[in-house]
Structure 1
């Protein structure tokens, strides 16, 4: 009997991230077993992830589980996993719009959704946040098209556009756009805005931490004093946001913000949270774009707040820019965000099976040994 277990998966680039995608039917139905399998697949536990398919960075140590949805407003369910590199743990608290970009092509090619001729709109329920996204994929002749002319910063070359339209983004995790009850708070003597829109974030003006906000990822990642200060602010803010002690957890994220350098709306350095993102997360960009149209947040000190019913927000980040379109209704007192849309791309890298050790995870694989894995 072989001492290896073969787990079906597809490795894809989704947006500016990469990782293995799994069908829920190919995994045990309980989260502890799923977690152990994904950790083994990624090779987590050492900084190189040398025994797995992880890439040793936060952008390439991500994964997703996809299944057909039973929800009346969704076609598929999508569970995002931020897989720790050095530790044996996975965070399923946040979502990821980049990995989501690969979930719909994966679902179509896996037979979960029937493709239309031309383009296919798929309704996605994000299991992490119980939120909904409409995703449109190019499917000429009923086949997923990966080649095209769309480009996104942080990814070389071009590919077919994938349109993500996020619905009901405000209060995704906490139920409130401003979880502390305020548009501005002060922690460690620094004024911040705590905002929950697709991704809960603590927004900080770079100048308040004696930074320009235009520093490179490497410059920020090697500034130990800055990282320590940011973490103290994040921990304090998380308590007031209702998250409790978030030591070792990735929510809320942090955005270090400044005025745009070129043709953008604002510049952001997005922390994940212990280091700076090489480009920018989609969900974090959504949060910042929503905060940008609310004059009372700290962003109001940095930009002229947009005021139209349809707004284009361009966020400058270390690898370029990310563009978002906000549809909203507003009057003198309130702003109602209807949706936030943007374009991503995806690429299928490989499809097959990945081998992991049976010895270390025997209990997780009883279903595999019987030949009938349970369904999620």
Structure 2
């Protein structure tokens, strides 16, 4: 931990933690330097809980847009790994739980890691576009983020998008070597198609373990809302049965099988996109799909032999965008195929700088409510 102890009137010693509140893609999170926090994991998590509790109530009235509950944190530090600029650990803060879930890396918050690293002096600007190589500690993935830095500064231009309607930076994120990152192989069962409970399925891991089914094979159109699907208990039980069997076949650990793999139904879109998805896991339907889940679906759509073959025409050596539609939006995944295997995957995301400040947390009672000051 760096020496960032401060005193406040009428209070004892306090830990001063600088932060940026940023919107990465469609997620809002608190970005902090890992070295500004206590090295002890328990005290670190208590401090982060205190920060999240404070920021969730203090900043909503100061912003021009409605601020949803903030429950995600991004811890960033300069990396000692060869060829890597910064290490990134993302966590989800759950109310009522002392610990923070660091088991997954949020690919939306990833978009803000590179601008944060530049703003905090961890990475030097290297021209009109500055590449930042990031190691995602939660998953072991490596991403390269291209940050626009014309004029020797991160460019926060006016470019309204559905993700961020006001001041944003448009970035391109390139994911390296996603195939088999959790299961050890792109097709963990050794097959492009398996039959589980009488249903043809593609079990695939291109950043996120997924079981991909044709919606029509389980009696759906694939265009139903998650709310409508949630009322179908027979379908829920059948998909959970398929999911559990697929998890064993994909050699996922008992802990991972609580939420993985996710089941994804594919269908033709009624809104112009070639691929529409509905995602299910652990007895729940989700309105969206993760970025790495979308990258996994895109891989199934461009590789030969899967149940999704033909939904996107991609020749060997090509790289092109694949639109993956979900219930509330669309991701566009840029994907390449080399020698019949997935090359790289990328996505354009936006970053919005919402708030820059400093939180003072009492060192002797890190869990109690903090006070804040803004530079």
Flag whether TM exceeds 0.5 (same fold): yes
Residue in 2 aligned with 1:66? Answer: 76
Structure-1 residue corresponding to 2:370: none
Q: Check whether the contact 2:226–2:287 (CA below 8 A) recurs between aligned residues.
A: yes
Distance 1:25 1:294, change over 3 A: same
Superimposed CA distance per residue, residues 250-275 of structure 1 (whole angstroms, 9 cap, x where no aligned partner): 44333222123233231112346664
| Maintained 8 Å contact 1:328/1:338 | yes
Which segments of 5 or more consecutive residues in structure 1 lack a partner in the other structure? 363-376
1:288-367 to structure 2, matched below 5 A, reads: 288-300=297-309, 303=311, 305-310=313-318, 311-330=320-339, 335-354=340-359
Q: Partner of 1:160 in structure 2?
A: 169
Which of residues 269, 272, 275 is equivalent to 2:278?
A: 269
| Matched-pair contact (CA < 8 Å) for 2:333–2:347 | yes
SS of aligned partner of 1:268: strand
> What is the aligned partner in structure 2 of residue 116 from structure 1?
126
Classify the secondary structure of the residue corresponding to 1:203.
strand
**In terms of mean alpha carbon deviation, does 116-125 or 29-38 score higher?**
29-38
Unpaired runs of at least 5, structure 2: 1-10, 61-66, 368-375
TM-score (norm 1): 0.80
Task: State the Cα RMSD in Å.
Answer: 3.3
Counterpart residue number, 2:38: 28
- Pairwise CA distance, 1:200: 1.7
Tell me the CA shift for residue 227 of structure 1.
4.2
1:253 is aligned, of 244, 247, 262, to 262
Of structures 1 and 2, the larger Rg is shown by 2
Alignment of 1:272-283 (within 5 A): 275-283=284-292
Classify 1:170/1:65 alpha carbon distance in 2 versus 1 (closer, same or farther; 3 Å). Answer: same
Matched, 1:194 2:203: yes
TM-score scaled by length of structure 2: 0.81
The alpha-carbon deviation at position 306 of structure 1 amounts to 2.9
Given that 2:89 and 2:102 are in contact with CA atoms closer than 8 Å, whether structure 1 keeps it comes out as: yes
